[in-house]
Chain A
Amino acid sequence: DAGVTQSPTHLIKTRGQQVTLRCSPKSGHDTVSWYQQALGQGPQFIFQYYEEEERQRGNFPDRFSGHQFPNYSSELNVNALLLGDSALYLCASSSAGTANTEAFFGQGTRLTVV
């Protein structure tokens, strides 16, 4: 059983460009959450998708958008990249509404904006 998979693992982009990151959740999970982890910090919640809709959002600008597909996989899009967007982007999958199950994380996508 594959866990959470993210692609690509590493990415280098130029300021002003756009980027799309991808995530496939663990089998049986229906909820995907995205996190941004700057160097030396804890992950910060970006948004969460459930039933193909954005269910909630953290304190991130509209340049960050996402999508969830019928097979529960998800994409994170970032427009007009800034140097400060350089970070590790983590995807987590879980089952909706149950506190007693952990969220499984992918290995992350390390984005560098130059």
Chain B
Amino acid sequence: AQKITQTQPGMFVQEKEAVTLDCTYDTSDPSYGLFWYKQPSSGEMIFLIYQGSYDQQNATEGRYSLNFQKARKSANLVISASQLGDSAMYFCAMRVPMNRDDKIIFGKGTRLHILP
């Protein structure tokens, strides 16, 4: 069965510090995609970064980077130089598009609080 686990329900981080949000996943399929989404209080799910299972390099998008450790089935999100606007819920998600079974599975999320 496919599963995403986020073990940090909430985190408090000082502004301008780097923060790592943990994510582990479980799938037996060789082809999959891993995503991180940010959800502010408005509710919209904002795409942050993507990592494919066959990608050799860790994904980076501006201040976001994904620490992909395939053997450990880990896909942690690193936010550098955190800002007050980074306060939100963060979801790790996985997509395994095999045949007709193509859906995104989400973890329970981590609520990040950036302190001034």
- A56: contacting residue among B37, B45, B100, CB under 8 A: B100
Q: For B42, what are the chain A residues with a Cβ–Cβ distance below 8 Å?
A: 107
Q: Cβ of A71 < 8 Å from any Cβ of B?
A: no
Contact of B50 among A41, A42, A102 (CB under 8 A): A102
Residue A15 at the B interface, CB < 8 A?
Answer: no
B109–A42 CB distance below 8 A: yes
Tell me the count of chain A residues lying within 8 A, CB to CB, of chain B.
30
**Which listed residue (B32, B47, B91, B102) contacts A43, Cβ 8 A?**
B91
Residue pair A99, B97 in contact (C-beta under 8 Å): yes
Chain A nearest Cβ from B72, distance in angstroms: 20
B109's nearest neighbour on chain A, judged by CB, is A42
CA–CA, A88 and B32, complex, Å? 26
* A35, A42, A96, A102: the one within 8 Å of B102 (CB): A96
Can you sample 28 A-B contacts with CB below 8 Å? A31-B102, A33-B103, A41-B108, A42-B91, A43-B91, A43-B104, A44-B106, A45-B104, A48-B103, A55-B102, A56-B100, A56-B101, A56-B103, A88-B43, A92-B104, A94-B102, A96-B97, A97-B102, A99-B32, A99-B53, A99-B96, A102-B33, A102-B35, A103-B47, A103-B104, A107-B42, A107-B44, A110-B43
